[in-house]
Structure 1
């Protein structure tokens, strides 16, 4: 059930209920993905939402879009609570599942920020209910009464949760907006540094306090804890971790609305490197090597806030 293709989820000729669901499908996927950070789990949530939608009498639904967003939120909340327990047993660092996104995602500043790897990691520090409230209110501009119905709280309680979540996120989100051209320039410099293994090139593009996180999921070698500081990251890329017999090549791409790199070792895809850029230098590196998380980079995923 790929987000870009927009297949008939029921496998039969489209009827009005199916057409209405497909009309909002990309929005529902975006809501679920921003709540979960996992495209695979977001797809499962959409399937559950679809099953409930086809069991509903359309005549009793005044606003299909609001209804579908509400059901998607409830299903995503249930899944998020179970995922929290799964992630406690995850081997090493957990990173969101990267997705190859269409150019219009990068052009929509609000959408690109909301699905960036950096923002999704900030959202991971919220409780499930806080995350749902923040995503619906701050990203999708859903009203408090509608959010209250989706999360099972009173509108007054939702307002307080939204305020608390906003303060939490604002304290952790990137503070300095960076132009797409500055980000591309930093990524291009980092690509040259990776391919040549030149320590000076790395030093020039990495911020002194840069943080490297890598996710192998126990299936590929990855650091169990974040690497902090330019010198530590440079040693990693130019020292023992860099096998002189291995050729590193990188392919520029756009992941989660931001420039990124597909990293190849001896011609084989090794992982996806997403970056966070502030003041024209790289402050965050997010390297996803877990092969189970690399299934959404072969074709573009359509995301939308509307």
Structure 2
């Protein structure tokens, strides 16, 4: 291969990876719930991709998804062992998401805190199959190559995973207008420390999960019920600045103390009330909030 031909081949390989990078990141993130680990997977995918002879690849997108899925499965099994010793509730690493993600209802739901926690209940293979089939609509034979199973076995895994997710999937759905009103009422109540207004906007059975990772103060068990949750939120204090944001495709508040991100408070809304709260305080999980995250179907 002469220098020009080799240069063209290198450019083709690079362009193919860049063209599908957003998709690959989303696949890895939905499997792992961690942007940092997803980036590690993409680095490994790139290293393997540049070592492939482009002439042997019929479908670069499918090939790259296969590499990414296999690398993510390896990471997912290692993460599972780490999570067993995690102190307190484990929550996904929050991502600032662009408006087009929130407008894509299916994609927004698939990366929501609630759904990522549901996916945590699946085995690594079930999670990979569910993400590739239900979110990205890959064919069973493509998924089979990615997870080293037969298409028939993948169909069975997909059926089992769908049933498990359906049994746990959050049911509440709120309109954009209702969500905005509820989030604004919640924000004002927290900022002013108005317990009565806060209780009015919290569902009676609201659940708050807090992830401090054993590094910063956080509840080590779910906080359940409006009064208990309101008591915890009352500790935020007047010194904090609450900035509305779209996190993982849904409504959230970023809590700033002295100009630094202290907590990301993602929420689930239904029937004009806050039904679920996910407070990520672990500093290691807040370092990826510098800009909008590119997610793609």
Instruction: Establish whether TM, by shorter chain, passes 0.5.
Output: yes
Paired position in structure 2 for 1:303: 295
RMSD: 1.5
Q: Within 5 Å, which residues of 2 pair with 1:190-269?
A: 190-238=186-234, 241=235, 247-269=239-261
Q: Identify unmatched segments of 5+ residues in structure 2.
A: 1-9
Paired position in structure 2 for 1:43: 39
Matching of residue 141 in structure 1 with residue 143 in structure 2 = no
Shift of 1:283: 1.0
Deviation by residue 1:214-258 (Cα, 9 ceiling, x = unmatched): 1111111000111011111112233xx456xx5232011111111
Paired position in structure 1 for 2:57: 61
Return the TM-score normalized by structure 2. Answer: 0.94
Number of matched pairs: 289
Paired position in structure 1 for 2:282: 290
Which of the numbers 85, 89, 95 marks the counterpart of 1:93? Answer: 89
SS at match of 1:223: coil
Residue pair 1:194, 1:248 contacting (<8 A) in 2 also = no
Q: Within 5 Å, which residues of 2 pair with 1:55-204?
A: 55-204=51-200
Paired position in structure 2 for 1:20: 16
Aligned equivalents of 1:118 and 1:75: distance in 2?
Answer: 24
Residue pair 2:251, 2:268 contacting (<8 A) in 1 also = no
Aligned equivalents of 1:56 and 1:144: distance in 2?
Answer: 24
Shift of 1:267: 4.3
Question: Which is richer in helix?
Answer: 2
Shift of 1:269: 2.4
Residue pair 2:172, 2:269 contacting (<8 A) in 1 also = no
Deviation by residue 1:22-67 (Cα, 9 ceiling, x = unmatched): 0000000000000000000000000000011000001001000000
SS at match of 2:246: strand
Which 4+ residue blocks in structure 1 deviate beyond 4 angstroms?
A: none
SS at match of 2:275: strand
SS at match of 1:15: helix
Aligned equivalents of 1:242 and 1:293: distance in 2?
Answer: 19
Residue pair 1:174, 1:278 contacting (<8 A) in 2 also = no
Return 23-32 or 146-155, whichever deviates more.
Answer: 146-155
Residue pair 2:261, 2:286 contacting (<8 A) in 1 also = no
Shift of 1:89: 1.2
Paired position in structure 2 for 1:271: 263
Shift of 1:21: 0.5
